[in-house]
Chain A
Amino acid sequence: MQQGANLPGLGSYNRSVVLGAVQISGGISRVEIAAMTGLTAQTVSVIVRRLLEEGLVREDGSEPSSGGKPRTILRVAPEAGYAVGIHFDPGGLHYVLADLAGRPVRTSRSPVRGDHSPERLTARMGTAVRRLLAEAGVPAERVLGIGLACPGPIDQPSGTMVHPPRLPGWGKVPIGDLLRAATRLPVTVDNDATAAVIGERWAGLGRTAASLAYLYLGTGVGGGLLLDGRIYRGRSLNAGEFGHITAVPGGPPCRCGNLGCVEAVCCPDAIVAAVHERLAGGAGGTLAAAFRRDPSRVGHARICAAAAAGDPVAAQVIGEVAAHLAGAVVTIVNVLDLDLIVLGGPALGPAAEIYRSTIAEAVASRAFTRRLRPAEVALSPIAADAAAIGAASLVFHAAYAPDPATLLSQGTRRP
C-alpha cells in the first residue's frame, strides 16, 4: 500500500521524506528539515504548506534563531490519523491503536485457540478491531489501515503466511486478504521481527539511530534491520534471520536443518531442556524441589525469573545462552557496522538485563569497530508491545515513510 499516487513523481517521495523528518524529530523547523533532507528551502516550504492544509502537521510554537525571525516548530498532529496494529502469535493476539506520532492510544489482548481456522480467526480480529475503535472513540474513517505482524515465513507483498511452523495445517494463507474482507480497511502484513524494528524506528530507540539491528527473542530467534535509515529486507525479504547464524559448529540440530544455529541453542525450549538436564543430573538451587515434584512446572518464564533472582543453575544456563547470542551479535556488528542493537521480544522476560549486559560487554570488547565507535546495546523500551506497535507503524511506514523502491523507480527517470 504505497499512498500518494495522486502526487506523481518526486513530489510524493519528497513529501514522505519531509513528513518522516517531522515525525522522527518530535519538533523541527523548516530550516532544519532542509538541512536534514537536502531539499531546498523552497521545496520544504511548499510541502509543509500542503501538510499543514491536510492537517497532518501543525505549527507548534517557535524557537529563537541566530538572527532573523524566530523559527516556527512543526510537529505531526497525532490525532490526524490512526492505525491499528495486530500482533498475531500462536500464543496470543495483541491489538494496539496508535496515533500518527506512533504512540499507543489503546491496547487489548486475546488468546488464540488452536482449533481456529484462518477465516474464523480473522473474523474475530475484525470484531476486536471494531471494539477497540469504539472504546477509544475513534471513527473508522480516521484509521489509515491495519498492520498485521505474523510469524514467518511470509510472502510480504501478497500478505500470505507460508506454512507457519507452529500452525500446522495452515499452508498458504492469504491472511491479509481475509482480514481486509473482515474489516474493510487496508491491511499491510509483515513478519513480526520486521514489524518490531519498524516500531522501534517510529516509536522507540530507532528514532535517533541510522543503523540498527533488532534482535527478537520469541519462540524462536529472529530480527530486523534498519540500515541507513531504511528498513532492509534483503533479496528475498528474509534478511535478519539472526537465529540461523551458527553459534556452535557441529552443535545440536536446528529445525532449519543446519547444526548449532543460534536458535537451536538459545530458544526457550533449549533453555528449558538445558536446565532440566542439569536438575535431572542432581544440580541444586531454587528450582530443584519443584523439578522433583513435576518437571513441567519448571518452565521458561520461571527459569528466567530464577536467573534474575540469582539461582545458580538458571543463571548459568541463561548466561551461556546470552554468551551464544553475544557471539552472534558481534558477528552482526562486524558485518554491518551498526550504531545500535535493540533487544526485544517476549522471551527476554525478567532475564532481560542478563542478556543486555552480556551482549554489551561482548560488543564493547570484541567487535572490530569498537575503537572507532562502540555500538550501543539496549533493551527495547516498548519490548512487550514492540511487535504490535510495530504492526501499527507498518501502516504509517507504508503510507509515509521513504520507501527505497519509490526512490529507485524514480531516480532513473532523471532527464
Chain B
Amino acid sequence: MTLPPPLSGLPRTPADITGPAPAAPPQPPAHPSGPTRATATPSGTPATPYNRHPTTTPSPTPTTPTNSAQTTPTTSPTPTTLTSTPYSTPATRVLAVDIGGTKLAVALVDASGELLRRGEVPTPDSTDGPVVVGALLELIAHVAEGVAPAAVGVGSAGPIDPVRGTVSPVNIPAWRDFPLLDHVRAAVPGVPVVLIGDAVAAAVGEHWRGAGTASTALLGIVVSTGIGGGLVLDSRSYPGPTGNAGHFGHIVADPLGPECPCGARGCVEAIASGPAMTRWALANGWRPGEPGPSVRPIGARELAADARAGAPVAVAAFERGAAALAAGIVSVAAICDLDQVVVGGGVSRSGEILLGPLRRQVAAQSHLGFVRRLRVTPAALGGDAGLVGAARAALSALSPSTPPPPSVQPVPVQPVQPQPVQPVQPVAEASAGVSAPTILPEIR
C-alpha cells in the first residue's frame, strides 16, 4: 500500500477527531473544546443553539411536538395482548430509534421495513442527561401516538452495553453509562426493547433494504466525523459479545501514521474521517474555495467541492483517505471473507470523489481471489439506514426462533430490490393525521 503524499508533518490535534457518529456533518478543523471530548455541534442546523428544556420552553422548530411536553405518551399505547411468543406479522409495527450526536430520530416502521412515520430533533446540546432523554421520549411519544408498537429497536452511537442497556455515546457527553433502555421501556411498556450500535444498525439496514440486499457477508462503514463500521455475517447482524464489533475506524492503516485519540497511530479514522482529511489538506496548502472568508466551517464538504473542481491537494486528500479506508477494508475482507462493502455517512456523499479512488485502492491492494471479488458500493438509504436497521433488530426480537434471511434464499419479508425509502415525513405533517390510523398504508 502506498499512501499518496507524505505522512509527516501532520497537525496532531486529537480533540477534533471524534468517535463514530454516522450522520454527523464534518467538524470544523480546529475545535475549541479540549481533548476530553469532541462535540457534535449541530452545524448545518439552525444558527440558534438548540438548548430548550422540554418542560418549559415551547418547541422552536416545526419538527417538534406542539403540545404536551410531557415525556410520557399522551395516548398511552396499551399493548393489551402481548402473547408469550410474539411473532411479527405483516401488520406488525415497530418503533425504530436512532441516537446520534447531531440528531435523534424515531420512526414507526412496518414489518417490511417501510417507514410509516418519521421524526427527528437535533440532539440537545446539554450536559444534563434527563434533558437529552426528555427530548427523545417526547419524540417517541409523538411518533408512536395512537399506535401500539410491538417492539422497539434502538440504534445508538457507542460505546454501548446491550446487556445492561446503557449507552455512553462519545458525542453525547450528558450520557455516560446512561440507562437508556430503562427510559425507553418506561415510555413503551410491555414490549421487547433491543439496543444495537448505530453502525451495526446502518449495516443491517443497508443489508435488509438498501444497497446490500444480495450480500451474505457485508461490512457497512460510515465515513463521517468519525468512522464506524458494522458487520452482517452469514446474513445476520454480528454485533459481537459486547455489542461493539465492526470497529473499523480503529484498524491501523499505517503504523507510522498520525496519532489517534484511541492511543494508536495511523488508525483509519485518523486518516480518512472528514476532519482528518480536511486537516491534512489544510496542512498541505489547501486554501478552501473563494469567495471570501466563509461563514460556514470549512469541512469535508468544501474539500469535496474543491476536489471535484480539480484542486490537487483536495484530490490528494481523498486519495490518501481512500488508501487508508482500502487498507482497512482489505484486512477485514481477509478476516471475514466479505462479499460487499457499503459506504455511507456524510463524507460518502461526496460520491465518486471518494468512491472512485476507494475502488481503485481496494483493487490495488486485493490479491487473494476471494478478496478481489469484493464489491464496494455507496449506501442507498442515506440517513435512514440506522432507523431501518434498528427496526430490523426490533422485529428480530419479536421472533427469536425465526432466523434472519438465509443466504441461500431470498429475503422472506420483502422484495430484494433496493427501493428508496419514502420521502422523509416531518412529524408535524405526520401528526396531522395521527389520530386516524388509516394513514398507515396497507400492507400488500
| Residues of A participating in the B interface, judged by any CB pair closer than 8 Å | 38, 210-211, 225, 227-228, 230, 232-246, 248-250, 254, 256-260, 327-328, 330-332, 334-339, 365-366, 368-369, 372-373, 404-405, 407-409, 411-412, 414
**Does B241 make an interface contact (CB < 8 A)?**
yes
Q: How far, in angstroms, from A368 to B243 measured CA to CA in the complex?
A: 12
Chain A residues lying within 8 Å of B16, measured Cβ to Cβ, are: none
| Given the contacts A38-B400, A246-B365, A368 and B244 also touching, CB distance less than 8 Å | yes
Residues in A with CB closer than 8 Å to B334 are 241-245
Find chain B residues with CB under 8 A from A240 CB. 335, 337
Check if B253 sits within 8 Å of A249, measured CB to CB: yes
Most central of A244, A405, A409 by chain B CB within 10 Å: A244
Give 6 nearest A-B pairs by CB, closest first: A234-B337, A337-B240, A257-B367, A408-B406, A337-B245, A239-B337
Contact of B331 among A211, A236, A331 (CB under 8 A): A331
Q: Are A409 and B238 in contact (CB under 8 A)?
A: no
B234 in contact with A232 (CB, 8 Å): yes
For A258, A327, A332, A335, the residue with the greatest tally of chain B CB atoms inside 10 Å of its CB is A335
Q: Find the B residue at minimum CB distance from A251.
A: B1
Q: How many angstroms between the C-alpha atoms of A177 and B31 in the bound complex?
A: 65
Q: Which residues of B contact A336 (CB under 8 A)?
A: 231, 238, 240, 245, 335-336
Determine if A332 and B365 form an interchain contact, defined as CB atoms under 8 angstroms apart: no
Give the residue of B251, B365, B399, B400 whose beta carbon is less than 8 angstroms from that of A334.
B251
Contact B337 A339 (CB under 8 A): no
Residue on A with the closest CB to B327?
A246
Find out whether the CB atom of B254 lies under 8 angstroms from the CB atom of A249: yes
List chain B residues, Cβ under 8 A from A237. Answer: 337
Whether B403 and A407, one on each chain, are in contact in the complex, defined by CB atoms closer than 8 angstroms, is: yes
* Count of residues in B whose CB is under 8 Å from the partner chain: 62
Contact of A337 among B216, B244, B408 (CB under 8 A): B244
The interface residues of chain A lying within 8 Å CB-to-CB of B2 are 249-250
Query: Are B241 and A210 in contact (CB-based, < 8 A)?
Result: yes
| Interface residue B351 (Cβ < 8 Å from any Cβ of A) | no
Q: Which B residues between 393 and 413 are near A, CB-CB below 8 angstroms?
A: 399-403, 405-409, 412
- Report the Cα distance A264→B379, complex, angstroms: 34
Report the separation of the CA atoms of residues A249 and B241 in the bound assembly, to the nearest whole angstrom: 30
Instruction: Answer yes or no: B330 CB below 8 A from chain A CBs.
Output: yes
Tell me which of A232, A248, A409 contacts B406 (CB under 8 A).
Answer: A409
Q: Which residues of B contact A235 (CB under 8 A)?
A: 215-217, 337-339, 370
Instruction: Enumerate chain A residues within 8 angstroms of B262, measured Cβ to Cβ.
Output: 368
Chain A residues in 8 Å Cβ range of B244:
337, 368-369, 372
CA gap between A365 and B402 in the complex, in Å: 39
Q: Shortest beta-carbon distance, B399 to chain A, in Å?
A: 8
The answer to whether A242 and B234 have CB atoms under 8 Å apart is no
Establish whether residues A260 and B1, one from each chain, have CB atoms under 8 Å apart when the complex forms. Answer: yes
Which residue of A227, A368, A408 is within 8 Å of B407 (Cβ)? A408
Q: Is the CB of A238 within 8 A of B1?
A: no
> Are A241 and B337 closer than 8 Å at their CB atoms?
yes
| Chain B contacts for A330, CB-based, 8 A | 252, 264
Would you call B98 an interface residue if the criterion is a C-beta within 8 Å of the partner chain's C-beta atoms? no
Whether A339 pairs with B403 at a CB distance below 8 angstroms is no
Question: Which residues of B are found within 8 Å of A38, using beta-carbon distances?
Answer: 400-401
A to B CB contacts below 8 Å, 16 in the list: A234-B338, A235-B337, A236-B370, A238-B337, A242-B334, A250-B1, A258-B330, A260-B1, A331-B335, A335-B335, A337-B239, A368-B244, A408-B403, A409-B408, A412-B405, A412-B412
| Distance, CA A249 to CA B364, complexed state (A) | 13
Are A227's CB and B238's CB within 8 A? yes
- Pick from A238, A244, A334, A411: contact of B403, CB under 8 Å: A411
Q: For chain A, what secondary structure do more than half of its interface residues adopt (helix, strand, loop), or is it mixed?
A: loop
Which residue in chain B gives the minimum CB-CB distance to A362? B264
Give A250 to B255 CA distance when docked, in angstroms: 11
B250 within 8 A of A: yes
Find out whether the CB atom of B370 lies under 8 angstroms from the CB atom of A238. Answer: yes
Q: Which residue in A233, A366, A407 is a CB contact (below 8 Å) of B337?
A: A233
Contact between chains at B231 and A335 (CB < 8 Å):
yes
Contacts of B187 in A (CB 8 A): none
Taken together as a complex, chains A and B put the C-alpha atoms of A259 and B241 apart, in Å, by 33
Between B216, B242, B366, the greatest number of chain A beta carbons within 10 A of the residue's beta carbon is seen for: B242
Residues on A with C-beta less than 8 A from B235 are: 408
Are A236 and B373 neighbours in the complex by a CB distance under 8 Å? Answer: yes
**Within 8 Å of chain A (Cβ to Cβ): is B368?**
yes
Assess whether A373 is in contact with B242, with CB atoms less than 8 Å apart. Answer: yes
Write the chain A residue with the least CB distance to B252: A327
- The minimal Cβ–Cβ distance linking A150 to chain B, given in whole angstroms, is 17
Enumerate chain A residues within 8 angstroms of B311, measured Cβ to Cβ.
none
Whether B241 and A337, one on each chain, are in contact in the complex, defined by CB atoms closer than 8 angstroms, is yes
Q: Is the CB of B368 within 8 A of A256?
A: yes
Nearest CB on B from A95, distance (A): 30
Sample of 11 further A-B pairs with CB below 8 A, known A241-B334, A254-B367, A405-B408: A232-B233, A234-B337, A235-B215, A235-B338, A244-B367, A249-B254, A334-B250, A335-B335, A338-B241, A404-B234, A412-B409
Min CB–CB distance A151 → chain B (angstroms): 15
* B 164-222 contacts with A by CB, 8 A: 215-217
Report the separation of the CA atoms of residues A249 and B254 in the bound assembly, to the nearest whole angstrom. Answer: 7
Considering the chains assembled together, what is the distance between the CA atoms of A258 and B371 in angstroms?
11
Structural contact, B336 and A337, CB atoms closer than 8 A: no
Name the distance in Å between B433's Cβ and chain A's nearest Cβ. Answer: 34
- In the complex formed, the residue of B with least CB distance to A253 is B367
**Residue contact A241 to B365, C-beta cutoff 8 Å:** no
Q: Which of B407-434 contact A (CB under 8 A)?
A: 407-409, 412
Given contacts A245-B331, A372-B159, contact A337 B247 (CB under 8 A): yes
Q: Does B15 interact with chain A (Cβ within 8 Å)?
A: no
Task: Report how far A230 CA is from B236 CA in the complex, Å.
Answer: 13
Of residues 77 through 128 on chain B, the ones whose CB sits less than 8 Å from some CB of chain A are 87
CB of B332 within 8 Å of the partner chain: yes
Question: B365: which A residues are within 8 A, CB to CB?
Answer: 246, 258
Contact A338 B403, beta carbon cutoff 8 Å:
no
Assess the B217–A369 pair: CB atoms within 8 A.
no
- B399 to A, closest residue via Cβ: A414
